[in-house]
Structure 1
Amino acid sequence: MRIEDHLRQSAGRFGSKTALIAGEIHLSYVELDGLSDRLAASLIARGIGAGDRVLMIAENSAEAVVAFFAVWKAGAVPCPLHATIKQDKLRAIIDSTTPFAIFTQARFFGVVGAASSAAECAPLKILFGTTPVNVVEGWLTYAAMVARDITNELPRQPDGEALAILIHTSGSTGTPKGVMHSHASLLAACGSIITYLENTDDDIVLSVLPISFGYGITQILTMVMVGGTLVLEKSFAFPRKVLARLVETRATGFPIVPAMAALIAGMQDLAPSFLPDLRYITSAAAAMPPSTTQRLRELLSETRLFLMYGQTECIRASYLPSDEADHRPLSVGRAIPGGHAYVIDEADNPVPPGVTGELVVEGPHVMTGYWQDDPASVNKVTSVDGGRRLYTGDLFTTDEDGFLYFVSRRDDIIKTRGEKVSPQEVERVLYALPGIREAAVAGVDDAVFGQLIRAYVALEPSAELSEKEILRHCALNLEDYMMPKSVEFRDALPKTSTGKIRLTADPSISEPLGPESKENAA
């Protein structure tokens, strides 16, 4: 079975029920199915073939969701990219993927036009939304393509193991890797998510997550698979408007990242249970500070909170059941249903509880490899019975009950005074100090100690903390070699496009902080 088959099934089962809300646009399942059929027919008429790549550079919109399903129905492969991608990086991806077409919106017309003009291939260029007056000849419009009448029934695509999507992970230098997921691996991940979240056709999920990365894409697929409703918002730039939208739409599910959770937790005027319809919140892409978890639990005591971990390469690796959040707030849980996740040493042997090693993920949800990068794929993924094994490169431990605990990304470990320090362990102590809104630490090269630990913090608007007070707090809670030697105050810490705090996202921080790791896309 392929992804688009689930849309056809839900259109048959749920008909006029609302499948998607994006701004003022409401699409029923029949309408979403019909629009994607017509767009697919237009692509086929223009010569798209099985396995052809289609780039998508757009903010969250109903048209982008239609395009996903249209590309799948045409037998091709959507390659979503973040809307803020720069021209040079986009050109490199165009050259790598040689796309049949590029979908974009008017505001990104200039970047896409310049990148595609300089590229080695000549993809079709298709605009969502209102056509700008300065569009040059050679651009097509989504509106005209979906207006096309279908004269013949679309051919059914038979291969569920075919490539379904290329998701490009971010990187600090060079061209990002294209993570390849088949229809089977993506559906395996989404089916597992549905199982532990207990999704049904009664669910209404509001998502502000970009549909350019895995965590956002799974919101589309899981709702279509169960016949639920997806409310798609462009961003979390105006948190109170999003919270009002949650109330207005009676949303039952709300996927977030910790940076969003911190903003909600910092709102002092919110009444407990202010979202009475909200059945669950999920959090992924980074660790949730325990103080934030506690605040969310106080505000939304009847809402289930699922803390999760994953990478683009497996979509989701583990989840912490909501009833464990109070008892194990630092854990990311156990392997998702249908998968395995365990910690190994350098000889590939499982390690006992409490010992740090690399997390390995196994199952049908693991990627098939990296696009045109066989050496990297061989080092990252191997075949095992029942699926594939992914070497995550992330350091973990387990407790006596088998629950997983993230320690650090292998490249993030700070080596100081002959000791190894996990940045996250220091960051947890910083977050425990009232008044700190955002925190991160990194190693700064030092001729004597190898590296010194520097803390970067952003304070709550009303907080008045000095460097001395922060260091005193650290001294009371950390061993000597783990102590930050300095504190740098910022209005806000740099974040990736997916909302994760990442110091390497800020070019003004010139000290060597280690390469930016791949996007986690749980």
Structure 2
Amino acid sequence: MTHPTHPRPWLSSYESGVPRTFTPSGLTLPALLERAAAKYPDHTALTFIGATTSYRQLWQDAQRFAAALRRMGVRPGDRVSIMLPNTPQFVTSFYGTLLAGAIAVNTSPMYTASELEHQLQDSGSETLIILDSFYPRYQEIRTRVPVKRVLVTGVQDALSFPKNLLYPVKARREGSWVNVPYDERVLPYRKVLASQPAAAPTVSLQPDDVALLQYTGGTTGVPKGAMLTHANLVSNCEQARSWMSDLHEGQEVTLAAIPFFHVYGMTVAMNLSILIGANIVLVPNPRDLKMVLTQIERSRATLFPAVPTLYNAINNHPDTPRHDLTSIRACISGSAPLLLETARRFKEITGGANLVEGYGLTEASPITHVNPIFGDQLEGSIGLPVPGVDAIIVSDDGQPTPSGEVGELWVAGPQIMKGYWQRDDETAKTLRQQDGQVWLMTGDMATMDDRGYFRIVDRKKDLIIAGGYNIYPREVEEALMSHPAVLEAAAVGVPDPYRGESVHAVVALKPGQTASETDIITHCKGLLSAYKVPRSVEFRTELPKTAAMKILRRQLAQEARETRAARSA
């Protein structure tokens, strides 16, 4: 298959100030932080519940952390799993891990013990950085994973006096305090960091070195680590910077509620902010809308990247009218479709903030397309390819489609992953070398119009996106099938006015067995992260199948949607 040189109409649709060409800087991620510390040493880098960290201090802390890892035996190429919410410790751990030459592994704080076990085993992580309240999940699996050392931290470690003393008292009163059994393998993060000099070990980092394993279901639903290099991640935040042409370096304030363990939050809220020397206001729990609103108002945040669910929640929260959100200038919404009404209402509440929809994939670090911040924003469109991204729509016969016709979206650019960790077979199914470029076959069906605006019209994947989180039916189905009364099961996405989609389970029970909707949901809660748990269960005597006995998920999804639509009519 060969692709002739194809037109790129999106270039003529770029708004003024957005470059038509893109050349990556070639920097590594630690170099971004080092440069910001040199340019803005006394500027606030992090704000966390009243405590602040300057860029000078953040750079020193990252160096101390790198030195601590090397002293404990971590070597270049080793994997370090980070299981933290948005706290100063996350930023320090991430950049310190890279300074030590190791590979960071983003680990969701919402993982159950079994999910954590799979990721630690698959990545081969011998080091884990974890919040104290998550420790019991690790303790449950500690004898079955390759972890040799655990650094435990708590929210109190990042607070200033007297909050650092009051927080444990509050946690004990609320019953959320965890007594961690420290020993030679389990160490207190704060003491380890304090014992090191602010001098990082000498490690020769190259842009093509893998910086991050970001786990995703990819095209098959089997969780695997996308290998994202320093060049991938730096390029993508530089591309985002070029798209947001009105950013003021050293002056912006980013409200970071979207989790850094999600690659979208890492790129847009953390790395982009460090690239431009912004103050990152950390929100550890995005579901705490009162904190989100308070921090926006108190910090006078100017940038607020998030997911549609969070914007919609703010639009409808009873406390929103009592907060001044007018400092926000621009927001890029990612990870799920953005409803026009959500964007319109948010712009009204903030007095004119531009909330635009973007598109990306974990394998692309993640941003590939964004609607213009100030130019034409087309309803239902994911926008235009950002500078440096090439995109084509490919038909079933492997040829580029004419404008307006549906095909699979392929993207290429400097942010495309190196491949999947120890999954060469899956990498070959997802990446295609052609015309001197590496193309990522997204699995999403799309169209491109004459102006270069793209629209996603369907999915090849059966991916469910709830509140910005990717849910792969196979994981849910495995949990459903482990229930002793379940004979067969399918998980599909159904429209949810708040979360975009929610998980709907369709099950058939074994002859003579009984189970209620509550029984099934309760069972899943013990095996899956909360956002993956089915919100509704439908019982059938048999699930529809193809001639090859494959369950027809799409038919079930369509029937579930039609049933819901009929009920609401």
**Cα RMSD over matched residues?**
3.3
Given the alignment of the two structures, is residue 354 of structure 1 paired with residue 404 of structure 2, yes or no? yes
Map 1:51-450 onto structure 2 (within 5 A): 51-119=77-145, 121-129=146-154, 132-137=178-183, 138-150=185-197, 154-170=201-217, 176-198=223-245, 199=247, 200-218=249-267, 219-267=269-317, 274-314=324-364, 315-324=366-375, 328-384=378-434, 387-412=437-462
Over the matched positions of the two proteins, sequence identity in percent amounts to 25
Length-normalised TM-score, structure 2: 0.71
1: distance between equivalents of 2:305 and 2:312?
14
Asked if the contact 2:432/2:438 (under 8 Å) is kept, the reply is yes
Equivalent in the alignment of 2:60: 34
Asked if the contact 1:53/1:76 (under 8 Å) is kept, the reply is yes
Q: CA deviation at 1:320?
A: 0.4
User: What runs of 5+ residues in structure 2 fail to find an aligned partner?
Assistant: 1-26, 158-177, 466-472, 474-489, 500-524, 544-550, 555-569
Question: For this pair of structures, how many residues does the alignment match?
Answer: 442
Residue 236 of structure 2 aligns with an amino acid whose one-letter code is A
2: distance between equivalents of 1:341 and 1:61?
36
Residue 155 of structure 1 aligns with an amino acid whose one-letter code is T
* Cα pair distance change 1:309/1:270, threshold 3 Å: same
Map 1:453-472 onto structure 2 (within 5 A): 457=496
CA deviation profile, 1:1-42 (whole Å, cap 9, x unmatched): 210011111111111110011223311001101111111101
SS in structure 1 at match of 2:75: coil
* Cα pair distance change 1:385/1:12, threshold 3 Å: farther
* Cα pair distance change 1:509/1:3, threshold 3 Å: farther
SS in structure 2 at match of 1:114: helix
SS in structure 1 at match of 2:235: helix
Asked if the contact 2:253/2:302 (under 8 Å) is kept, the reply is yes
Residue 371 of structure 2 aligns with an amino acid whose one-letter code is L
Does 1 or 2 have the higher relative contact order (CA < 8 Å, sep 6+)?
2
Residue 207 of structure 1 aligns with an amino acid whose one-letter code is A
1: distance between equivalents of 2:153 and 2:406?
48
Equivalent in the alignment of 1:482: none
Asked if the contact 2:309/2:498 (under 8 Å) is kept, the reply is no
CA deviation profile, 1:424-470 (whole Å, cap 9, x unmatched): 9xxxxxxxxxxxxxxxxx9xxxxxxxx9x99655599xxxxxxxxxx
Asked if the contact 1:73/1:157 (under 8 Å) is kept, the reply is no
Residue 50 of structure 1 aligns with an amino acid whose one-letter code is P
Residue 338 of structure 2 aligns with an amino acid whose one-letter code is M
* Cα pair distance change 1:55/1:233, threshold 3 Å: same
Asked if the contact 1:56/1:81 (under 8 Å) is kept, the reply is yes
Q: CA deviation at 1:177?
A: 1.2
Residue 368 of structure 1 aligns with an amino acid whose one-letter code is K
SS in structure 1 at match of 2:116: helix
CA deviation profile, 1:370-410 (whole Å, cap 9, x unmatched): 11100110110123567521000001112221200111211
Asked if the contact 1:364/1:387 (under 8 Å) is kept, the reply is no
User: What runs of 5+ residues in structure 1 fail to find an aligned partner?
Assistant: 414-422, 425-441, 443-450, 461-495, 516-522
Asked if the contact 1:273/1:299 (under 8 Å) is kept, the reply is no
Asked if the contact 1:172/1:504 (under 8 Å) is kept, the reply is no
SS in structure 1 at match of 2:341: helix
SS in structure 1 at match of 2:399: coil
Q: CA deviation at 1:112?
A: 1.2
Question: Which segment drifts farther, 91-100 or 152-161?
Answer: 152-161
Length-normalised TM-score, structure 1: 0.77
* Cα pair distance change 1:283/1:152, threshold 3 Å: closer
1: distance between equivalents of 2:407 and 2:210?
32
Asked if the contact 2:355/2:373 (under 8 Å) is kept, the reply is yes
SS in structure 1 at match of 2:305: strand
